[in-house]
Chain A
Amino acid sequence: MTGDDYKRGATPAGDDTDRTATDGGAGGTFETVEWDDIDRAGPSRRAEAVWILVTAPWLVCAVQVSLQFLASLASGGGGGGGSLAPLPVVGTVGPVAWVGSALALGTAYYGLRPLRRSRIATLWLGFTGVWLAGVSATAVTQLGDESGLAAFPLLGVVTPVDWLWLLTVAVLVRYGVVPLSSNRRIARYYWRQFRRNTAAVVSAIYLVVVFVVGIVGARVVPEPSPTPGLESQPPAFVSVPSYVTGVDCPGGTRMEGGTELCQGSLAHPFGTTGAGEDVLRAVIHGMEVSMQVGLIATLISLAIATAVGLTAAYYGGYVDEVLMRYVDIQQTFPTLFLFLLLAYSLGGSLFLLVVIFGFFGWGNSARLIRGEALQRREQLYMQASKSAGASPFWTIRNHLLPNVSNSVITAATLSIPVIIIAEATFSFIGLADPTIPSWGRIISDGQGQLRNAWWISTIPGLFLFCTVLAFNFVGDALRDALDPRHGGEES
């Protein structure tokens, strides 16, 4: 594959008549298949038998317990959910233990097959396993018990949004950071393209800072809490008349023209809200909320849009027709107004917002990706894959998807800013969860005090504006760097 490959590329196609591209393999010959090696790579008979011996009773118990659980749910009525039946030897097995043992069995099964698997793939498999286990445990406790969400050792209570957030960050690392760091040459090429656009580079740095400060800050900095006496403190280096603020004034007071002025202090660099919450802390916590909403909802919607768009384009015909008609129907109800109605009837929450925008906001992206995939479908590599007997899933995953990834990224950059603004807007009008420290909520807190305390609304708003602006700049530059149709145009 090394020197020979290079020569093959260098010689004109007409020269090597005995080594045409169709016969495959490096150097024009097929690779020898070592069937013995492949046989040896599979799990041994004995290990498999032991695994089956353990799994079978587990499955029987699991089915029995879940049936009893469902029955108790059905008959229990208002009794606050069902109860888990005890088993003969082990007694009552809690939901977490069930999921944990399932995970152990699954890992054992995969461990039995020492196939060639890279370290990254193993890590990813481990992570998804743990994630799935955690999510199922949370779901089980929430469905079966009214006492609240499951508490985990070390982590404590993990909310549904946190689970999704964890997955989103992991996906970003797995499919963004890891490929770029392992494939330096491509990474350098993208960087050279991207670097031309100074605004985008500055924006990207800003976004990384917001992302990191948001994630770390939300865990390190305590949540802002109302503090009596510290209401409406001005930001550092600004002073306002004392009657505007609460009774305390950590920055000290001074007299000017007959009125007592309260000076801002570095204890509250961005001042405090009308309820005495520190604006800086609120801004830091708001960073994570904005990132969460924008990235999680976009990840969900892109996953669906890609699956739908590629399936429709690959199969065509009736599949295409049905999927795209569904997209039409879904798009008749604008997501913003749909969420408005849902928030009214069910009560708004961050989770609902993410889910609604994730599961109902993918129509435009699906159309975009389908349009691109329709062109790629006719390419020779698609035909080659099909005629080599590859399954539709394999062909879509390994040939169609990588070739439309530009469209996927374009769709992402279009959807993130819209969702972030939507979340802030719903928090502003008070239709989102009021306990979440969103920028929109702080802006609405300060709306009544525009005349006296301008900083409450303007500072979080400035961060919101800059974040959205930065996403737009980065998105524009990414489109230029990745999209061959626009490549080189803007230089």
Chain B
Amino acid sequence: MKWYLLRRLLWTGVATLVILTVTFVLMDLVPNQRVLEAQFQAAQQGVDVETAVQAERERLGLDRPTHVRYFDFLQSVLQLEWGWSYEYNRPVREVVLRKAPYSLMYGLPAILVSTVLGIAIGLYSAVNQYTKRDYVATFGAFFGISIPNFWFGIVLLVVFGSVLGWVEIGFNPQLAENAAGNLVWLDTATASHPAFIGEEVDGPRRVGILSPGNLKQLILPTVVVMTASIASVMRFARAEALEYVDADFVKTAKAKGVGNWRIVGKHVLRPAAVPLTTIIVGRILGLVLFGAYVTELVFGIPGIGLASFRAVLTQDTNLVMITVLLPTFLIVLGNLLEDLIYVVLDPRIDYGDR
């Protein structure tokens, strides 16, 4: 088993290296923003363009041989020195730290709720196969996997924002901050708080991540991200659970008079959970992260996804690279975690084989 864990960790290292290498090659193809700028300036000032470009390349270290730059790149990424973001005019790491909480605010609840609810509905559906409720759940799952995230977000905004007027169409990031502009869990603020500019405010109001106003504007994005993943989890959970619903050990348990809840929880869920973890991490995590990327765009949430999108538009190469690498590494980590959970969930797994 130690050998298995060691191999698994080594593999994660290989995967990381592959991802970083592909990224390095692709990013090397993009013309450097700084060099282009220098070229432009030199042309404007009437200086010799060639020498100006050469000087800038030397200053940035771009004239060094490829392998030197490659190792330099690996080192800096792994040491969390992610370079400078020209759009935000501060280090990329700071930008990411500033933006990440907004992505987590709706992403974490969405992933947790969809996993738990998805598995619960899937199990329920499997146990009550071919009943009306099963059909309703199955149809709901089809709806969930078929509706494009970004369009669902738009439709919800039209219905609840424009038609019913229950939520604001624009996202107000200041609602999660205190008056000084720092993220807080819960605080009270006066009318001078930047979130309430242009509004009639009487008396102190609550701000912060857990404040009612902030939670309200997070509902729709959470629902959108949740829909797709809940449907996928549910379908896979149902399919996996069906394999065990008629198994001999389940019949034995029933014959012995074990309660329904206990059968589902202990005799169906546990064997079904092993392949489920693979599916949830391997197939769904990537879709959820990418869906979140677009959801932020639709709702205007200033998280990692929106930052990445704006970086693409403004050619902020360092920021693009890191914001794409982050979710990719999350998936790699998720895969590692999944294989480690295997050990706990299924003692029968033969480690020598893998």
A residues with a Cβ closer than 8 A to B are 328-329, 332-334, 336-338, 340-342, 344-346, 364, 417-418, 421, 424-425, 428-431, 440, 443, 447, 450-451, 454, 457-458, 461, 464-465, 468-469, 472-473, 476
Of the candidates A329, A345, A417, the one whose C-beta lies within 8 Å of that of B29 is A345
Within 8 A of A (CB), among B316-348: 320-321, 324, 327-328, 331-332
B29-A332 in contact (CB<8A) = no
Extra contacts besides A333-B19, A451-B169, A468-B148 (10): CB < 8 Å: A329-B18, A333-B22, A334-B331, A337-B324, A428-B294, A429-B150, A450-B154, A450-B158, A458-B158, A464-B151
A residues near B104, Cβ cutoff 8 Å: none
CB distance from A73 to the nearest CB of B (A): 21
Cβ contact within 8 Å between B147 and A333: no
Interface residues of B (CB under 8 A from A): 11, 14-15, 18-19, 22-23, 26-27, 29-30, 142-143, 145-151, 154-155, 157-158, 161-162, 169, 283, 286-287, 290, 294, 297-298, 309, 312-313, 320-321, 324, 327-328, 331-332
* Given the contacts A417-B146, A465-B146, A337 and B327 also touching, CB distance less than 8 Å: yes
Instruction: State whether A469 and B142 are in contact (beta carbons under 8 Å apart), knowing that A334-B328, A457-B154 are contacts in the complex.
Output: yes
Residue numbers in A under 8 Å from B157 (CB-CB): 450
The A/B interface has a contact count, at CB < 8 Å, of 112
Chain A residues with CB under 8 A of B22: 333, 338, 341
Please tell me which one of the listed residues A428, A458, A468 contacts residue B146 in the complex, with CB atoms under 8 A apart: A468
A332 touches B154 (CB 8 A): no
A-B contact pairs, 26 of them (CB 8 A): A329-B15, A332-B15, A333-B18, A333-B328, A334-B328, A337-B290, A337-B328, A341-B27, A341-B320, A342-B26, A345-B27, A364-B283, A417-B145, A425-B149, A425-B290, A428-B150, A429-B294, A451-B169, A457-B151, A461-B151, A461-B155, A464-B148, A465-B147, A468-B148, A469-B146, A469-B147
User: What chain A residues lie within 8 Å of B286 (beta carbons)?
Assistant: 334, 336-337
Does A336 lie within 8 Å of B162, measured CB to CB?
A: no
- Shortest A453–chain B CB gap in Å is 10
- A-B pairs, top 7 by smallest CB distance, nearest first, are A461-B151, A469-B146, A332-B15, A334-B286, A468-B146, A336-B290, A345-B26
Q: A450-B161, A454-B162, A464-B151 are in contact. Are A472 and B327 (CB under 8 A)?
A: no
Tell me the complex Cα distance, A345–B11, Å: 28
B211 shortest CB reach to chain A, Å: 26
Contacts of A421 in B (CB 8 A): 148
In the assembled complex, the Cα of A465 lies from the Cα of B155 at a distance in Å of 12
CA distance A428 to B145 in the complex (A): 18
* Contact assessment for A431 and B312 in the assembled complex, using a CB-CB cutoff below 8 Å: yes
Cross-chain contact B146 with A472 (CB below 8 angstroms): yes
Closest chain-B Cβ to A346's Cβ sits at a distance in Å of: 7
Residues of B within 8 A of A431 (CB): 312
Query: Which residues in B have their C-beta under 8 angstroms from that of A443?
Result: 150-151, 154
